[in-house]
Amino acid sequence: MKLQAFSVFLTLAVVANAQNLKARHDRVVHKRQALTSPSVSHSGTTHSTTTTAAATHSVSLVPAAAAGTGVPPIESISSGMPTQATLPVSGTFTPGATPPVSGAPVLPTPFVFKPADWPPQDRVAPVDSSEVAEWLKELEGHNIPALAPTVDGSCAGDPVAAADAANRGWWTCGGHTRATDVLACPDKLTWGVSFDDGPSPYTQKLLNFLSEKDINATFFVVGSRVIERPQLLLEEYMRGHEISVHTWSHRPLTSLTTEQVVAELGWTRKAIKTVLGVTPTTMRPPFGDIDDRVRAISLAMGMVPILWTSSPATGPFDTFDWKVAAGLVKGPQSFNTFQAILGNASTLNTGFIVLQHDLYEITVDMAVGHTLTAALTHNPALNLQAIGKCMKWPTGNLYLETNTNATFPTKGVDTDGDGVIETHGKTGQSSNGSNNNGAGFVAVPFFTVAGAMAVIATLLS
């Protein structure tokens, strides 16, 4: 008992500071999402936002902004800075247009928002709908660990769960991973570029820069943002970027019930398919908050978890760009964090995946004017790629409708929640019928990290 108490105390002491930052991040995410969410219009109208002033800190590194980007100098980037006019969506894509993914369905009819068709935005998706009832059937036959939800997805908020983090495979507390987690690109000096939490009023500026520099990225999109700015999601997809699931309301998934996790993933998956006509086979948990229960649910629903690079030696490859938006640091400090990431990347034998965000004007300015520019001029040279590409996955396997993998997902998934199963792009099987795949569910080695690349290759290659 004394040993257990000491373990709990030690866990609390180690994570208390980190938890304070995570709580601040959580608050600013939901505040920003509320501020950037139009309460009536869902036609892509843009809005500007502000937050409280940041504390001042001294730093030595002050790079110049990238020419022609309209981004302020790094020393001027801070919470509460003057906002700029947002850019209109530049792409116009007609129904029936052919996407850049070989074999993908043509673009569907334009999305029209009807409140009765969707859960309330930025709230945990309800579980009492017919759609969720159908999506829960996707878990049948899969081993979903009987782990109780954490209190709030944080270590300090749930010391009992934190003390058992290694057994739970809880990434939030201790960075515990499993072989099915995607954590880094395999090739040295390859950066898996990703942006979370959009699409937002500022995503267009980022897309324009990525196109100019011929960079593709993976966008982990929030369902509540998808139904709000469908044209931006279309532009991301049609410009060749990868689209992945980032839940409906951006809550820590380990804090939700199994039914709620299914609803969060299912509604986001459905929103993406409604707008694009394709269903992602990957996801990223908000805050990286994942454990063995959440992993099993995601995999059963046909989505491989993608996190970002982190190790005891290098720390997390998180730019902490959100801290600038939250008023915790200023631009130069965030950029120094990024410079440390680049330095650590050169010491790895593999590539890496970096966490950035396109929800805030500040984080887009950081990326467009500073971090991406620094990466493009880095010595030794870095290869910037979307995560699926850096993992050498066939592009078609990133979406259910074009997936040619015969082993994942092994059971069909019901993307629309209408009782009709889609298996590797094939439809027509009732959710009450047996699947025609013939293969057993890929064994998920929840209690080992050995052979991660081999398992991931099996899932999406």
What is the tally of structural domains in the chain? 1
Range of the domain at 330: 3-45+102-460
Tell whether 65 is covered by a domain. no
| Backbone Cα Rg of the chain | 21
pTM across the whole model: 0.83
The partner residues of 352 in beta bridges, in order of sequence, read 191
Residue with the two structure tokens 């943002």 = 225
Tell whether 82 is covered by a domain. no
196 among known catalytic residues: yes
CA dihedral 194, 199, 205, 207 (to 10 degrees): 50
The partner residues of 353 in beta bridges, in order of sequence, read 192
**Active-site residue identified among 357, 365, 414, 416:** 357
Tell whether 50 is covered by a domain. no
How does DSSP classify residue 19?
H
424 among known catalytic residues: no
341: domain CATH number is: 3.20.20.370
**Active-site residue identified among 26, 152, 196, 318:** 196
Residue with the two structure tokens 């990347």 = 345
**Of the candidates 294, 275, 364, the residue with the CA atom closest to the CA atom of residue 42:** 275
Which pLDDT tens digits describe the chain residue by residue (461 residues)? 433 443 333 333 333 444 444 454 555 454 444 444 433 333 333 333 333 333 333 333 334 444 445 788 999 899 888 888 899 998 889 999 999 999 999 999 999 999 999 999 999 999 999 999 999 999 999 999 999 999 999 999 999 999 999 999 999 999 999 999 999 999 999 999 999 999 999 999 999 999 999 999 999 999 999 999 999 999 999 999 999 999 999 999 999 999 999 999 999 999 999 999 999 999 999 999 999 999 999 999 999 999 999 988 889 999 999 999 999 999 999 999 999 999 999 899 999 999 999 999 999 999 999 999 999 999 999 999 999 999 999 999 999 999 998 888 877 899 999 999 876 555 544 444 333 332 222 333 332 333 444 555 555 66
pLDDT on residue 90: 86
Tell whether 114 is covered by a domain. yes
> Cα–Cα distance between 332 and 204 in angstroms, integer?
24
pLDDT on residue 352: 97
pLDDT on residue 69: 58
Tell whether 456 is covered by a domain. yes
pLDDT on residue 138: 96
Tell whether 265 is covered by a domain. yes
pLDDT on residue 459: 57
Tell whether 63 is covered by a domain. no
pLDDT on residue 460: 64
| Neighbouring C-alpha atoms within 13 Å toward the C-beta of 166 | 4
Q: What is the crossing angle of helices 292-300 and 258-276, to 10°?
A: 40
pLDDT on residue 328: 94
Tell whether 70 is covered by a domain. no
> Cα–Cα distance between 33 and 36 in angstroms, integer?
5
